[in-house]
Amino acid sequence: MNAYKLVEVIWLDAEEHGDIGWNDLKSMKLYAKKPCPLMYTVGYVLYEDESHIAVVSTLGSDECSRVEKIPTEFVKEIKVIRENKPRTKSVRKKGK
């Protein structure tokens, strides 16, 4: 299996707030001043370029979980947990 870089992406999420229909303007103005939420995503990097990073949380030899794409403009920091390294099979020892 190919090795993939494992990272933690720290990023600001876009959001919207309010109910369908009319909303109280004063309430919406107060909410508008709140900062966007800071998010933390951990995953294996499938793709990365100047526009976005794409990660998956679970990875097998032929299948993976859903892809999360995060626009580069939203990213505050990318922490590398593990660089690309060849995978070796690990064997669990029974007992002890």
H-type helices in 1-96, by residue range?
25-32
Give, in degrees to the nearest 5, the angle at Cα 27 between 23 and 32: 100
pLDDT tens by residue, 22-36: 999 999 999 999 999
Q: What is the number of structural domains in the chain?
A: 1
Judge whether 65 lies within some domain. yes
**Residue 45 and residue 80 in contact, taking contact as beta carbons nearer than 8 Å:** no
Residue 34: which domain range? 6-82
Q: Which amino acid is at 56?
A: V
pTM to 2 decimal places: 0.80
Measure the CA–CA gap between 24 and 19, rounded to whole angstroms: 10
CA 26 to chain centre: 33
Judge whether 95 lies within some domain. no
Judge whether 34 lies within some domain. yes
Q: What is the DSSP letter of 92?
A: P
Judge whether 16 lies within some domain. yes
pLDDT tens by residue, 43-90: 999 999 999 999 999 999 899 999 999 999 999 999 999 987 665 665
